Amino acid sequence: MKIVVIGSAGRLGAALVREYQGKYDVAGFNHAQLDLSNLDKIRGKIGGTQFDVLVNAAAFTNVDLCETQPDQAFRINAEAPRVLAEICGKKNAKLIHFSTDYVFDGEKRAPYTEEDEADPISVYGESKLAGEKNVLAAQNRHLIVRVSWVFGPDRPSFIDGMIKRAQENETVDAIADKFSTPTYTHDIAKMLPQFFDGEVEGGILHFANAGECSWQEYAQWALDCCREFGVPAKAKTVGALTLNDMKDWVARRPVYSVLSTAKYTQLTGTPPRTWREPVADYIRRFYSKK
């Protein structure tokens, strides 16, 4: 089986390529090789490549920058997926396209299911929702996987920034009134192959590690793990900030965007790991030996 990963230098794409090397015939395109804002380039490069499954792990993810560059956001996050879905349709190949918890408005106070109506409150969320609709309109068995708070070793994320700050400062803070779930790239890479088969039903699927937390709780657990695994840090506790404290933010963020993984568990018979476990794994593996 030939797998092509778009966004192979990103946090998620790099994890996918690493996981599948040796198991599949896998190739990756990074941003330098394939700029998703250039639709003609997509048609030329992807259209001229043979594959069975195309995984789009690339996106314009800078939430604030999307507000000031909406045309670019929609070109990369909405139009590019439409072109990819069309190409996959012609090749009778499957598209697996990653989306985000930011398609929801955050007003709900229980985990969002795949059936809940998406109502984004930012240009980023709007562009990602438009991309979902464009992929679904292709009417193939393409799969959209919504993920949240993705972390992994290939590119720094929130958890890496917090550990770095805690190593440099006596005090650190994080937002205490915004809730979602960390999701480990390793866990995404492990679960995805069961959906590679073109006969497996497509549509929308939520995948995140189990449970929910605030950024403050997430950061505190990371520092607790650092202490347990002998990773040096000056700060030991994480203070509380509120969303109202974030005066520099341009875009609105959903306050609560926890994704329900009940459908994934029902389909596969295996629930995702609780978020604390992969966070501990990540720190043990990638920080304890530094």
Which residues are marked as active site?
A: 124
Angle between helices 158-168 and 215-228 (to 10 degrees): 60
Report the SS3 class of residue 144. strand
Q: At 229, phi and psi to the nearest 5?
A: -100, 10
Residue 177 φ/ψ, nearest 5 degrees = -120, 30
The one-letter amino acid at 79: E
Residue 221, token pair as written in the block: 């657990």
d(CA 102, CA 215): 15
Region of 103 (left: φ > 0; alpha: ψ -120 to 50; beta: rest) is alpha
Rounded to the nearest angstrom, the gap between the alpha carbon of residue 99 and the centroid of all alpha carbons in its chain is: 7
SS3 content of the chain, % helix, strand, coil (to 5): 40, 20, 40
Cβ distance 273 to 187 under 8 Å? Answer: yes
Dist CA 109 CA 220 (whole Å): 23
Query: Which H helix or E strand runs over 217?
Result: helix 215-228
Look at the alpha carbons of 158, 36, 190, 17 in this order and tell me if their dihedral is positive or negative.
Answer: negative
Parallel/antiparallel/unpaired status of strands 2-6 and 25-29: parallel
